[in-house]
Amino acid sequence: KNQVEQSPQSLIILEGKNCTLQCNYTVSPFSNLRWYKQDTGRGPVSLTIMTFSENTKSNGRYTATLDADTKQSSLHITASQLSDSASYICVVSAEGNKLVFGAGTILRVKS
Amino acid sequence: EAGVVQSPRYKIIEKKQPVAFWCNPISGHNTLYWYLQNLGQGPELLIRYENEEAVDDSQLPKDRFSAERLKGVDSTLKIQPAELGDSAVYLCASSSRRGAGNEQFFGPGTRLTVL
The string of pLDDT tens digits covering residues A61-100 is: 999 999 999 999 999 999 999 999 999 999 998 876 778 9
* pLDDT value of residue B100: 56
Flag if A99 and B108 touch (Cβ within 8 Å). no
What b/e readout covers B41-73, taking b as 16+ CB neighbours within 10 angstroms?
bbbebbbbbeeeebebbeebeeeebbbebeeeb
Instruction: Provide residues of B within 8 Å CB-CB of chain A.
Output: 4, 40-45, 56, 91, 93, 95, 100-104, 106-109, 111
Taking a C-beta distance cutoff of 8 angstroms, is the pair A87, A43 a contact?
no
Measured between beta carbons, which residues in chain A are less than 8 angstroms from residue B4? 43
| pLDDT bracket for residue B1 (50, 70, 90) | low
Q: Which residue of B has its CA nearest to A89?
A: B42
Give the model confidence (pLDDT) of B7-18 as tens digits. Answer: 999 999 999 999
